[in-house]
Structure 1
Amino acid sequence: MKIEEFIQRTEAFHRRLADLNQTAIALPWITSDMLPQAFKELSSNSRMLQLAAEELYVQNEELLRTRNLLEEQCDRYQNLFDFAPNAYLLTNTQGIIQEVNHLATTLFKVAKHYLIGKPLINFVPLEERRRFRNELSEVSRSDKSRELSISLQQRDGKLFHSALTVAAVRNQYDKPINLLWVLREIPEPEQREANNEIYFTENRFIYKHCKGETITLNPSEIFYVCQGLVKLNTFCETGEEVLTGLAAEKMVFGSSLTSLQTYQATALTDVELVSIDVGEIASPVLSHALLPKINQRLRQTESFLAISGRQRVQERLHHLLLFLKQEIGQPVSQGTRLNFRLTHEELASACCTTRVTITRLMGKLQQQGVIRFDSKKHIILQNLT
């Protein structure tokens, strides 16, 4: 019986009792003291029942409003869950999927109703399943979330790289009842590199410098080379220039990356640069993107050290040309051309020798057919191994 119907019947019953009471009072042969005590109590109880029904009605209306509010909030949080920017899955402690959002169904290329009730391990390649089971066991015993880098497979068998973060959901007795999974797809190495380059250049001002121009360095910033070649050098006490590095496209440089007191950057060609504030390196995304760039500069520095440590000048020049072939070489029909023109003075500073010596050795290599020059005086390496 609905509460509205119950209230209506209660009111009708109370009215009938009131009419009966009035009728009894109106009868001339019945005095008021002759009314049964039970009748009076019944009338009183009927009134109390009516008041209780009205109070119940008010409480019921309040409960309905509360339920509607909870349903609205539930729908709102369900939408937040469904349309979250990451893929979310809720499983029991055995890894059976109970809830998934839209992005999870997109990654697995499986409809939601198909995923519900399926073991998450079904989407793990066979060779990864033992490690996955161990992680599943560990997370139920741990109070902290765990991260796992693993390959997952879609319904059609296609693999994709992913990063999983999983945490146990516990009840009031600290017993794990569910596992919450956050799934992020990790792009292939080539795609990650492309994404990093966009991150360096997107929404940043581009600084342009002409060939031969000195680039002003600031300890609070790092430069990223969008286009061109930058020469990095220092100076000895005698004033002689020492080449310490070449920053080509997609490389970084800056005075904050060296401990040298004197450090200079010069545009060997027309260059385009963007500035990155050192404070931004605190960002995990940027620091992760910068790490391979800094590692690249470290390898280059070690190559220059190895070249300068060779005893004979001929060997230093030979290995410098091999290094430049790898760093800035471009295949052409005659061999490998160095994309940017380097003067004998710059080659001499890299080889820790004089310009005269480099000129003599370069002439000898040209006579031997090891190198040649194009119309723009770019070096072409022909038989250098």
Structure 2
Amino acid sequence: MSFRFLPDDPSSSIRIPSGQTVLINSDDHSDCMKLNVLEGIARVYCPCEETEGMTLAFLQTGDQLRTDCLCSEGVCVEALTDLRFETKSNVPSNTGYDSVNEWTLQLLRIRHLGQAEHRLHALLSLLVSRLGKRYGEWCNLPFRLTHERIGELIGSTRVTSTRLMSKLRNGDMIVTSASKQEIKLSPELIDSSPISF
């Protein structure tokens, strides 16, 4: 696994190109730090060998990640689109909305659906409702996930994910292009999710 390390000192602007990953090791930061996403979309995942890169959350502009809420191994932040964030130190503990906990809860809800097809359907609906936009007759998701990553998110194999994505593609429910890092999804697919978000 290849990644950069987050600087120890607070920074007003850190840029991470799409496809790169930053490791946030909780042991390296004696004080609580907060990462604020200024632009872009990121995937937060556990770097532990036992969990094999388990996705905890997705972050977008305005979301925050607190380093005092991490597991002992820390977390990795992967830029799904070009990403810009800032870090701040000495953040007092507070209660309220936590985007990482909310994402983890929603991903857990998806994993408990009985059929892999329903889990994929719910995952795509969640991603579009939180991170996508409606453009004309399609909903757009501004990044793509590998079939292996989709399998991890829905609790299936890469082969199952590939089969299910092909079924959606053949049914004109999703459209992908080799030249673009986005997915177009039909509003009917998103609106008929087995879970409401």
Q: Would the TM-score normalized by the shorter structure come out above 0.5?
A: yes
Change beyond 3 A, Cα 1:281–1:236: closer
Structure 1 residues 305 and 226, CA gap change in structure 2 (3 angstroms): same
SS of 2:151's partner is: helix
Is 1:212 the counterpart of 2:19? The answer is yes
Alignment of 1:71-90 (within 5 A): none
State the partner residue of 1:337.
140
Structure 2 Cα separation of the partners of residues 236 and 214 of structure 1: 15
Describe the superposition over 1:94-133 as per-residue Cα deviations: whole angstroms up to 9, x where unpaired: xxxxxxxxxxxxxxxxxxxxxxxxxxxxxxxxxxxxxxxx
Amino acid at match of 1:350: L
Kept in 2, the 8 Å contact 1:334–1:380? The answer is no
- Looking at structure 2, the residues matched to 237 and 322 of structure 1 have their Cα atoms a distance apart, in angstroms, of 29
State how far apart, in whole Å, the 1-side matches of 2:155 and 2:181 are: 23
Q: Return the TM-score normalized by structure 1.
A: 0.42
Gaps of 5+ in 1: 1-202
Q: What residue number does 1:314 align with? A: 117
Seen in structure 2, the aligned counterparts of structure 1 residues 318 and 260 have a Cα distance that, compared at 3 Å, is: farther
Matched, 1:258 2:62: no
Partner of 2:160: 357
Q: Which amino acid aligns with 1:246?
A: F
Instruction: State which of 101, 121, 135 in structure 2 corresponds to 1:298.
Output: 101
Q: Please state which structure has a larger fraction of its residues in helix.
A: 1
**AA aligned opposite 1:303:** Q
SS of the aligned residue for 1:231 comes to: strand
Identity %: 26
d(CA) in 2 for partners of 1:308, 1:265: 22
Pairing partner for 1:373 from 172, 176, 186: 176
Instruction: Say which of 267, 270, 290 aligns to 2:79.
Output: 267
State the one-letter code of the partner of 2:183.
I
Give the deviation of 1:301 after TM superposition. Answer: 1.4
Q: CA deviation at 1:252?
A: 1.0
Pair 224,366 (structure 1): closer, same or farther in 2 beyond 3 Å: same
Aligned counterpart for 2:151 among listed residues 333, 344, 348: 348
CA contact (8 A) 1:217 1:265 kept: yes
Distance 1:204 1:232 in 2: 19
Aligned residues: 174
In structure 2, how many angstroms separate the alpha carbons of the residues matched to 1:217 and 1:349? Answer: 21
**TM-score, with structure 2 as normaliser:** 0.78
Equivalent residue letter for 1:213? Q
| Superposition deviation, residue 256 in structure 1 | 2.1
User: What SS is found at the alignment partner of 1:216?
Assistant: strand
Match of 1:281, SS? coil
Once the two structures are TM-superposed, the CA of residue 210 in structure 1 deviates from its matched residue by 1.5
Gaps of 5+ in 2: 1-9, 193-197
Q: CA 1:213 to 1:304, structure 2 compared with 1: closer, same or farther past 3 Å?
A: same
* Residues 317 and 236 of structure 1, relative CA distance in 2, 3 Å threshold: farther
Rounded Cα–Cα distance in structure 2 between residues aligned with 1:260 and 1:321 = 30
| Structure with more strand by fraction | 2
